[in-house]
Chain A
Amino acid sequence: MREKQLTRRRFLKNLTLTCTCSTLGVHTLAARHVWGKPPNGAGSNKSAPMEFRTLGKTGLRVSALSFGVMRLSEPAVLFQALDMGINYFDTAHRYQNGNNEIMLGKVLKQYGRSKVFIATKILPYHKHLGDKRLNDQKSMETMMEESLRRLQTDYVDVLFLHSITNPEWPLNEEMLGFCQKMKKTGKARFSGISFHTKGQTYVDTVDRSLETGFYDVFLATLNYKSPPAHIQALKRARDNGVGIVAMKTQAGGYKPEAKLSLNPHQAALKWVLDNRFVDCAIPGMVNRQQLAENAGVMGKKIGWSDRKTLAAYYDTIKDRYCLRCGSCTASCKKQVDISTIHRCLMYWEGYEDFDLGRATYRQLPPTENALACMGCTAPTCNCINGIKISERMRHAHIHFT
């Protein structure tokens, strides 16, 4: 074989080629970093490697995208999540009456318990009677034993007192005693509280819990609609070393915009993860598509113009944008296909494609279009996100027929 000689001409040619390619490559990457992918790739689910963050003073290195297992029933989605690098899984003693912990336990035993972090929650009060009957330490311990048995493990990484609704509870002796004992006996490495409360109660819950100096992690509602006082409260907690796990991260959305690199759910999740005081988010996922969509957020940035567009957009659409959660479907006793009709409206108002909206609407059988809404005097339909459904349905019918 003839050996190639490296002449001065060949050396300069190679150097020029290498520099040109590198520069182009770097610029392309930089452009994507700042502006996101080009419009035709909007909402791409191709994910970058998983990002890991330290969960407050616990020192646990958790995946920024973690997994809210609550509604999941298909173990394959968990395996796929593990392969994607997700290492923190959130469940609770009462989810699916214990079946959720059983499924998670089976999967994690097979995968290797030591490679992952498990968080579970114990309800510190009788569900139906609120603070009238707080559970005593012994009954919480019994629930914890049950959880460990279902999860097929000797310990959980984070034990949460589930759904704190009273800011004084984190100071309750039985609850503190329970958490202390679980940590002392090695059944829980760290402890925390979870809360969904609104308004000042949210802030007070954070502040009163911080006073104890005991809790390691807070699991709290956080999304782009969160009031500034809640965000500030979580920042204070993080400054005090408390790990912050965000839940209910995708409580809203907006139409996929050509200018944006992320789709609605991705943007809502990214908004949460862009807050550096958040250590991880646990969106609930029930299928591989949702998993891929959320993982697609990794490594993406929302640019200044994206944020500005988003902020303006949220304001304009919040009363009419359907998140297609499906919760309204069964609420209409006349079986109007509310979700599809909202989609038709989105084609028109969001994508500015009236013809597509009308064509889609006209494909609906007469029994499922909004004709029934026109004379409906006692609508039963309701939207958990506050959309005035009957008004929107009539609006669609008038314009599409």
Chain B
Amino acid sequence: MPIFILHKTGPARPALRGCRPLLMILFFLAVTCITPRAESGHGPIFSTALPSPEWQMEGQPYGFLPQNLYEYINGEAEFFIAFGFIELTGANYTSVAGGKDTVTIDIYDMGNKLNAFGVFQSKTGGQASALSLGAASTGSDGYLAFYKDRFFVEIQAYITREKEKHMVETMAASIAAHLPGDNTPPSELFYLPEKNRVAGSERYIKGGILGHAFLDRGMVCDYLIQGQKVTAFVAMLPSPQDAVHAVEQHRSFVLKSGKECLPLDRFGKHGFVSEEPYHQKIMETQVGAFVAGVYDLNTLEAGETLLADIITTLKQKENIR
């Protein structure tokens, strides 16, 4: 007879009651051992970031997990958590000579490249800088951000002495060099063709492309076609069936909004052309487990060529027949 019998609900079996204190102690020990702690995995990296003997690290590196990130950055924690935040480690530096001069380095482990890219683009709005740090970087003396592999790094500085201001870049370069991973952007970025792309407009959306929960996550990017700015997207769904369902939900939404919806036979049986509320014309279709679309179109011609390019790119990259 097995010692433990699992119940759907209800109290422990009478036979186990005598063991309850022991079980509670064992459970407590187990929980204490497995509870994730916000210990820095990057402790040595922070030591390497010291630019000169004039600077010193203030105390030990600190750490935060999803359950207590609110204590550190209050409501903004929601933003990071939505992008799959795993852990933050950071350190404060002070200048021995500079009185109040301080630098804070925060390294957010976002779990994967795509999430790190998503946070970086949302926070920087695609403003690239001349710095070459990680996969992309932005900022200057007071604020500097970059992402490398699964890490998003934010550096905030308060430096009064002009000659010390370059220290921020030195420290950032050191952190970037010591973080594991490579400097390439996420492969999903290449779902969208590079031709005519507006540089820096690429975004990874979580929560709803065009504000639709059924197009929960995917890549969005602006294009300049014949002087007209249009936006393209590739929504990533769990399966081709889900992608078909998402297109149908979208079709249903535009129809309910009182817009005309025409079939887009050239791009498969599920495609449609319509007008997106609060936007302009839209064309959209299903490609494997993806939904590809182009919106804010004045005319459909520009959209057709771009959508065809996106479909070709997707099929090549994901081996979709």
Contacts and interface: CB of A to CB of B under 8 A. Distances in A.
Interface of A: 70-71, 73-77, 79-80, 92, 94-99, 102, 126-129, 133, 162-163, 196, 247-248, 284, 286-291, 325-331, 349, 377-380, 382-384, 386, 388, 390, 395, 398-399
Contact of B125 (A70, A71, A102, A380): A102
B208 A289 contact: yes
Contact of B123 (A74, A75, A99): A99
B76 interface: yes
Contact of B74 (A196, A326, A327, A395): A196
12 contacts: A73-B205, A74-B209, A77-B208, A92-B75, A95-B76, A99-B122, A133-B100, A288-B208, A289-B213, A326-B84, A330-B85, A398-B6
A99 B201 CA distance: 13
Nearest to B207: A286
B123 A97 contact: yes
A327 B85 CA distance: 7
A102 B70 CA distance: 24
Interface in B75-96: 75-76, 78-79, 81-82, 84-86, 90, 92
A74 B208 CA distance: 8
Contacts of A399: 6, 8
B36 interface: yes
B276 A76 contact: yes
A398 B78 CA distance: 33
Contacts of B92: 128-129
Contacts of A378: 34
Contact of B278 (A80, A92, A284, A386): A80
A81 to B, nearest CB: 10
Contacts of A326: 81-82, 84
Contacts of B124: 97, 99
B212 A289 contact: yes
Given A97-B124, A99-B122, A378-B34, A126 B211 contact: no
Contacts of B122: 73, 96, 99
A74 B81 CA distance: 19
A349 B106 CA distance: 41
A324 B267 CA distance: 34
B212 A330 contact: no
B66 interface: yes
A287 B75 contact: no
Interface in B41-94: 65-67, 70, 73-76, 78-79, 81-82, 84-86, 90, 92
A396 to B, nearest CB: 11
A290 B6 CA distance: 38
B104 interface: yes
B210 A129 contact: no
Nearest to A289: B213
Given A70-B75, A284-B78, A327-B66, A97 B279 contact: no
B36 A76 contact: no
Contacts of B84: 326-327, 329-330
A97 B31 CA distance: 38
A325 B78 CA distance: 10
Given A325-B81, A330-B112, 5 more contacts: A70-B78, A71-B82, A75-B278, A378-B34, A383-B67
A377 B33 CA distance: 10
A88 to B, nearest CB: 17
Contacts of A377: 34
Contacts of B106: 128
Which of B104, B145, B211 has the largest count of A CB atoms less than 10 A from its CB?
B211
Given A70-B76, A73-B122, A384 B67 contact: yes
A85 B315 CA distance: 43
Interface string B134-152: 0000000001010000000
B156 interface: yes
A196 B75 CA distance: 8
B115 interface: yes
A382 B76 contact: no
B67 A96 contact: no
A390 B211 contact: no
Nearest to B214: A289
A57 B280 CA distance: 42
Nearest to B295: A76
A259 B104 CA distance: 52
B186 interface: no
Nearest to B91: A128
A73 B79 CA distance: 11
Contacts of A386: 67
Contacts of A127: 73, 104, 156
B102 interface: yes
B277 interface: yes
Contact of B76 (A94, A133, A247, A331): A94
B208 to A, nearest CB: 3
- Per CB-CB distance, the 5 closest pairs between chain A and chain B, nearest first, are A287-B208, A286-B207, A330-B111, A330-B84, A76-B278
B158 A126 contact: yes
Given A196-B75, A330-B84, A382 B102 contact: no
A57 B286 CA distance: 53
Given A75-B278, A128-B92, A96 B212 contact: no
Nearest to A121: B75
B213 A384 contact: no
Contacts of A71: 78-79, 82, 207
